[in-house]
Copies of this chain bind each other. A is one copy, B any other.
Amino acid sequence: MGVIVMKFGGTSMAGIERIRNVAARVKREVEAGHAVAVVVSAMAGETDRLVNFCKEASPLADPAEYDVVVASGEQVTSGLLAIALQAAGLKARSWLGWQLPIATSPAHSTARIGSIDTGAVLTAMQGGEVAVIPGFQGMTADRRVTTLGRGGSDTSAVAVAAALKADRCDIYTDVEGVYTTDPRIVPRARKLGKITYEEMLELASVGAKVLQTRSVELAMKEKVRVQVLSSFSDEPGTLVVDEDEIVEQELIAGVAYNRNEAKVTVVKVPDLPGKVSAIFGPLAEANINVDMIIQSIATEAKDGTSTTDVTFTVPQTELTRARAILEREAGTIGHERILADDGVCKVTVVGVGMKSHAGVAVTMFKALASRGINIQAITTSEIKVSVLIAEEYLELAVRVLHTAYGLDA
């Protein structure tokens, strides 16, 4: 008898009719002879409703009490799914975060899972009872409710799968799997049968939010075989697995993009030691995530002083805050002025095959150049190449690259 974990997101749990549909899917796995644990999200929209209550009660809501409020959404769907499973003729019960327990760090609203006690639940599962576990929630050592941060239910599912030593962790969502790129931009995008943890991480980090980044990191660390599939269809999904499991490695797994980019240029920064850290230190302290950084060659003025332009990207949603910080620090940095441009986007090609193949970046640059798309910045890792371009070229760039790497169906 195999042990599997099934995770259903908010869209799959939105209303009793859909919860009944989830119960039917679970029943199929039970009838196939599996011991099943189901991890559930709150109904779509419910967490937002609860978060808004907290914000309205106080903009600086105590994170410990915020967790008490928002964790209730998953408690509700856990009980309802247990009821629906029983109505479908299965044995089932809910196991709340404090009942298992799921022990987490005390970092309220962004807690990390430490350990999960699976003794009692595994016994129940082996006795044929489906265990329904609310995602997103846990408990501190001093028995306070915690939550894992938005999208934390994926992480809960992977952690439960690791603790149960599950054969598979199936993440049911509203898409059918991981695609070579966004099918809304490239209709000939293909669903991937398999993808490596590393590729999935890079795709997630550049905006292809099929799985929460933390859940992929955890799956990679714990070697949990994750499958992404749709709760609204019966098509096979995408398996996220170790590189070893993928026999025939594609060069490029996919093309991703991120519109939430803004470019900042700090003009004429004195070319002196400490100036770069005077820019990025305060941004880091404010938790603003700086991505691509380019520093121009220093130029010397007539008076002998030397200056340089420092360009970098931040999330568009942080642009206002970033500018305010740089203006506050103007005395220390000593720059002439700041330019900001939120009309940019990042396009990324990802593939573990890159590790052993040269020329991947060149293909990218040539393909973009052939359509007259100017590259404003570049970053690379072992398995990805990202470029910053004007946002108006986003769709064109994605299509061109999808074709250039032979990904079209």
A325 within 8 Å of B (CB atoms): no
Q: Which residues of B contact A50 (CB under 8 A)?
A: 76
A66 within 8 Å of B (CB atoms): yes
Copies in the complex: 2
The listed residue with most B CB atoms (<10 A of its CB), out of A69, A83, A98, is A83
Bound complex: CA A73 to CA B50 (Å): 11
Residue in B58, B87, B93 whose CB lies within 8 Å of A87: B58
Check B82 against A68 for contact (C-beta < 8 Å). yes
Bound complex: CA A114 to CA B89 (Å): 33
Report the count of interface residues on A (CB-CB < 8 A): 39
A75 within 8 Å of B (CB atoms): yes
Bound complex: CA A93 to CA B50 (Å): 18
**Which DSSP category, helix, strand, loop or mixed, fits chain A's interface?**
helix
Measured CB to CB, the closest approach of chain B to A142, in angstroms, equals 10
Measured CB to CB, the closest approach of chain B to A32, in angstroms, equals 24
Measured CB to CB, the closest approach of chain B to A103, in angstroms, equals 15
A169 within 8 Å of B (CB atoms): no
Check B94 against A68 for contact (C-beta < 8 Å). yes
Check A65 against B53 for contact (C-beta < 8 Å). no
Check A68 against B64 for contact (C-beta < 8 Å). no
Check B66 against A83 for contact (C-beta < 8 Å). yes
A54 within 8 Å of B (CB atoms): yes
Measured CB to CB, the closest approach of chain B to A101, in angstroms, equals 10
> Considering only CB atoms, which chain B residue lies closest to A82 in the complex?
B65
Q: Which residues of B contact A64 (CB under 8 A)?
A: 93
Measured CB to CB, the closest approach of chain B to A44, in angstroms, equals 14
> Considering only CB atoms, which chain B residue lies closest to A71 in the complex?
B75
Check A69 against B80 for contact (C-beta < 8 Å). yes
Q: Which residues of B contact A61 (CB under 8 A)?
A: 83
Contact with B along A120-152 (1 / 0, CB 8 A): 000000000000000000000001110000000
Q: Which residues of B contact A98 (CB under 8 A)?
A: 98
13 A-B pairs with CB atoms under 8 Å apart are A16-B56, A50-B76, A54-B83, A58-B84, A58-B87, A62-B83, A67-B79, A68-B76, A69-B75, A69-B76, A72-B76, A98-B98, A99-B144
